[in-house]
Amino acid sequence: MYRGGKEVGGIRFPLGSFEPIEEPTLEDRHKFIQLIPSIAPTLRQIIMKCPHALLRYPYREEGWTIQQIVHHLADNDMNAYLRFKRALTEDEPLASSYREDLWAELSDYTEVPIENSLSLLETLHFRFLILLKDLQPEDFKRTVRTQTLGSITLDIALQRFVWHNQHHIAQITSILNRENAKLHKE
């Protein structure tokens, strides 16, 4: 599913670009669902090790800071959860998009403590798991239409949800590894 950190890649896409499993098995789907509970705790554990000064450090030149990434994950996951619920209750709804680049410039991304977004992610992922556990295989065939991706199944949306979180966690980890390497050289 994920192609190694090529410079599609490198710093910007440490996991490579998203490549979905078009026809996932029940086991594939179960694997993705089982990854969700580890996302917020993994992110929290990484952030706890992060020196406070690094929270405002961009992961790459002209990239977002760690703090912006954490807030973005909360915003993105809220949007993804709502798109998922709409797809379960409407016939191929058109999901609204948002200007994530501009959202990252708003004051809540700099003024709100990241603990708020970490707590939000924990709560949201708990609710998402409750929703997912009762779905039938045919539910994952339902679709949602987005402006950027076109029509996608909930199977693909689930995979994107997990990949997106892992992608940003890998970016944060790459910052910390890079900074730790600098410290050890000195």
pLDDT value, residue 135: 98
Amino acid at 181: A
Write down the architecture of domain 26-185 according to CATH: Up-down Bundle (1.20)
Write out pLDDT tens, residues 109-158: 999 999 999 999 999 999 999 999 999 999 999 999 999 899 999 999 99
pLDDT value, residue 6: 38
**CA dist., res. 167 & res. 7, Å (int):** 13
The pLDDT-based confidence of 85 (bands split at 50, 70, 90) is very high
pLDDT value, residue 179: 78
Edge-first strand listing for the sheet containing 143-146? 94-95, 143-146, 150-153
**CA dist., res. 91 & res. 169, Å (int):** 33
Mean pLDDT computed over 90-99: 94
Q: Which residue has the higher pLDDT, 6 or 149?
A: 149
Write out pLDDT tens, residues 17-71: 999 999 999 999 999 999 999 999 999 999 998 988 899 988 788 889 999 999 9
Going from N- to C-terminal start, the domains of the chain cover 26-185
Residue 146 β-bridge partners: 95, 150
